[in-house]
């Protein structure tokens, strides 16, 4: 892909949804045609898309790591491309012990230090929300323990990388590989958007990548302990998240 093939002369619409993003989609200070750029990245495979983003954004790029199976694939790919990359995770304080073990296994295998973003304790959360006492799983908890931290983590970069896939759930079925993220006001790369379950596991097995052992215990998707359960057989990937409620997303990816 040519370095300047997406530059345009006419500014794009200036809204971004949260008021702190650049007025128009830009890369390196140059306005780009986000639709054209998205179409070009769509044609790249996952490794190519990550390599392209690293080249295009440099240190202005951050990888969000959840220590689920897709994160294992992405961490392995990143490790083959560069030694110095910014990978981070949001520590809600309510993650499974197996998730922290996976973090440590990946860190040891690849010599990576994952940046940790953590903020309020449960006690502080209760105090903050005293008028409507919040517990894990209730409205506002994800906003306090995840989304705010994501805003902090992404506050000084122009692009972030997520492990979401179209096969995860109906709400993610149209996720592009690359596009403007209105929610956080920056670019977002989903390099595994078109990967299915089989491809994920084939990759993990082929390269012997450490992965979260909860996947072997019936957890297709893994988040905080109070809000994650084993999913029924045949249910979609996200069925074990906030089971029994209408919620399907925490506010980071949808």
C-alpha 66, offset from chain centre: 7
Between the CA of residue 156 and those of 19, 95, 151, 189, what are the distances in Å? Answer: 15, 25, 9, 16
Please, which of residues 29-68 interact with ligand SF4 by CB under 6 A? none
Q: Report the C-alpha gap between 239 and 53 in whole angstroms.
A: 31
Q: Report the C-alpha gap between 157 and 195 in whole angstroms.
A: 26
Site track for ligand SF4 across 76-115, x = CB under 6 A: ----------------x-x---------------------
Contact stretch for ligand SF4 (CB under 6 A) within 43-51, 134-142, 153-161, 199-207: 134-142
36, 176 contact by CB (below 8 A):
no
Residue with tokens 């450490």: 210
End-to-end CA separation in angstroms for the chain: 29
Q: Which residue, 137 or 213, is less far from ligand SF4 as judged by CB?
A: 137
Token pair for 92: 């809600």
Contact stretch for ligand SF4 (CB under 6 A) within 21-29, 53-61, 74-82, 218-226: 218-226
Please, which of residues 226-245 interact with ligand SF4 by CB under 6 A? 226-227
Residue among 142, 192, 209, 252 that touches ligand SF4 (CB under 6 A) = 142
Instruction: Based on the shown chain and the rule CB under 6 A, indicate whether residue 224 belongs to the binding site for ligand SF4.
Output: yes
Q: Please count the residues of the chain.
A: 254
Token pair for 1: 């892909």
Tell me if residue 10 falls in helix, strand or coil. Answer: coil
Q: Which residue, 66 or 190, is less far from ligand SF4 as judged by CB?
A: 66
Token pair for 50: 């990550």
Which residue is nearest to ligand SF4, using beta carbons? 224
Instruction: Based on the shown chain and the rule CB under 6 A, indicate whether residue 176 belongs to the binding site for ligand SF4.
Output: no
Residue among 145, 166, 215, 238 that touches ligand SF4 (CB under 6 A) = 145
Residue 117 belongs to what H/E stretch?
Answer: strand 115-117
Residue among 157, 204, 250, 252 that touches ligand SF4 (CB under 6 A) = 250
Report which DSSP code applies to 9: S
Give catalytic status of residue 250 as yes or no.
yes
Q: Report the C-alpha gap between 161 and 168 in whole angstroms.
A: 16
Contact stretch for ligand SF4 (CB under 6 A) within 58-66, 142-150, 183-191, 210-218: 142-150
The nearest distance, CB 23 to ligand SF4, in angstroms, is 32
Which residues have a catalytic role annotated?
Answer: 250
Interface with ligand SF4 (CB under 6 A) = 92, 94, 136-137, 141-142, 145-146, 223-224, 226-227, 250
């Amino acid at each position: 892909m040519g370095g300047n093939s997406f530059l345009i002369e006419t500014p794009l619409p200036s809204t971004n949804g949260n008021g702190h993003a650049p007025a128009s989609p830009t890369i390196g200070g140059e306005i780009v045609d986000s639709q054209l750029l998205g179409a070009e990245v769509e044609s790249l495979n996952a490794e190519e898309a990550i390599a392209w983003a690293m080249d295009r954004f440099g240190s202005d790029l951050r990888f969000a790591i959840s220590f689920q199976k897709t994160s294992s694939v992405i961490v392995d790919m990143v490790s083959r491309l560069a030694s110095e990359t910014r990978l981070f995770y949001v520590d809600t304080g309510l993650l499974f012990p197996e998730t922290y073990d996976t973090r440590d296994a990946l860190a040891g295998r690849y010599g990576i230090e994952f940046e940790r973003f953590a903020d309020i304790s449960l006690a502080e959360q209760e105090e903050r929300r005293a008028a409507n006492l919040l517990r894990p799983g209730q409205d506002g908890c994800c906003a306090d323990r995840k989304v705010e931290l994501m805003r902090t983590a992404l506050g000084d970069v122009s692009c972030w990388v997520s492990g979401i896939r179209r096969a995860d759930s109906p709400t993610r079925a149209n996720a592009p590989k690359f596009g403007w993220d209105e929610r956080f006001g920056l670019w977002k790369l989903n390099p595994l958007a078109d990967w299915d379950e089989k491809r994920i596991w084939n990759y993990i097995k082929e390269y012997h990548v450490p992965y979260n052992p909860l996947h072997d215990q019936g957890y297709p998707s893994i988040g905080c302990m109070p809000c994650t359960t084993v999913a029924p057989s045949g249910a979609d990937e996200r069925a074990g998240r906030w089971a029994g409620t209408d919620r399907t997303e925490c506010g980071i990816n949808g």
